[in-house]
Structure 1
Amino acid sequence: MASIFTKIINGEIPSYKIAENENFIAILDAFPLVEGHVLVVPKKEVDKIFHLDKETYLGLMDFSYEIAQAIEKAVPCLRVGVAVIGLEVPHVHVHLVPLNTMQDINFTNPKIQLSAEKMNEIAEAIKSNI
């Protein structure tokens, strides 16, 4: 069965797309910890990050680097944190989280809710810095 990320990649589920190439996609997290929380996902559906072939893993990190640079320019933050957890969706994904405090990347925190207008605004701000 296709993961939710595969369904997003295939256009079956809407998302706030930041960037995409032939191997990866970056989208705003639909359930963000903070404004500007982005997920970077390989199009190849693999459950665990260290089960990716080395070329895909390195490509994922390179694509994540480019997106993190854009986030840092678009979203007021001290830095962009990186987390790979993968327990909630069996498809590799990298969390890029704008950080101002250690609590900003605490995945036990309640998720914030943003309007579609705000999500579009954030997505456009990040995209404009790629």
Structure 2
Amino acid sequence: MSDCIFCKIIDGEIPSAKIYEDEHVYAFLDISQVTEGHTLVIPKNHKQDIFELDDETASNLFKAVPKVANAIKSAYQPKGMNLLNNNGSFADQSVFHYHIHVIPRYDENDGFKSQWKVSNESSTEKLQEISNKITNHF
């Protein structure tokens, strides 16, 4: 896709700090380092979001993510690692080329914060209702 910044990075039109590359996947440091080592893992073929991923692309991506995470772990010895993926504007996706953030975590003040409101525990009946609604779409 000609106007996609990540496609331009893959094509070498925009420089990047490459971490990993294979035939299907490219991983590079996020220009906005939330924490040191914050890396983006992307498919080389343009897919806007998770809803456009085919099985092969998803498989190739998720084979690469542990390799990238383990390299970051070996280099920086973080206390933990967050994998983050946003799909759609409402979910704060800002670049519409599917990508997975690999964010090493060093301490509670390292610049990354993720929290959500936890509702009361759902009943077995409510969980089954939700399960049925979703599984009807496979």
State the AA in 2 paired with 1:73: S
Number of residue pairs matched by the alignment: 107
What TM-score do you get using the length of structure 2 for normalisation? 0.72
What TM-score do you get using the length of structure 1 for normalisation? 0.76
Does the aligned pair in 2 maintain the 1:18–1:28 contact within 8 Å?
A: yes
Which ranges of structure 1 fall in alignment gaps of 5 or more residues? 108-130
Identity over aligned residues, as a percent? 37
Instruction: Give the whole-Å Cα distance in 2 for the aligned partners of 1:17 and 1:41.
Output: 12
1:17-62 CA deviation, whole Å, 9 max, x = no partner? 0111111101000111010000001011111123200111121011
Question: What do you get for the CA RMSD once the two structures are aligned?
Answer: 1.6
Of 63, 66, 91, which aligns to 2:97? 91
Does the aligned pair in 2 maintain the 1:81–1:105 contact within 8 Å?
A: no
* 1:67 paired residue number: 68
Please report how far the alpha carbon of residue 67 of structure 1 lies from its aligned counterpart in structure 2 after TM superposition. 0.5
Instruction: Give the whole-Å Cα distance in 2 for the aligned partners of 1:55 and 1:102.
Output: 36
Instruction: Name which structure has the greater RCO, CA cutoff 8 Å, separation 6+.
Output: 1
Instruction: Give the whole-Å Cα distance in 2 for the aligned partners of 1:81 and 1:16.
Output: 20
Matched residue of 2:16: which SS?
coil
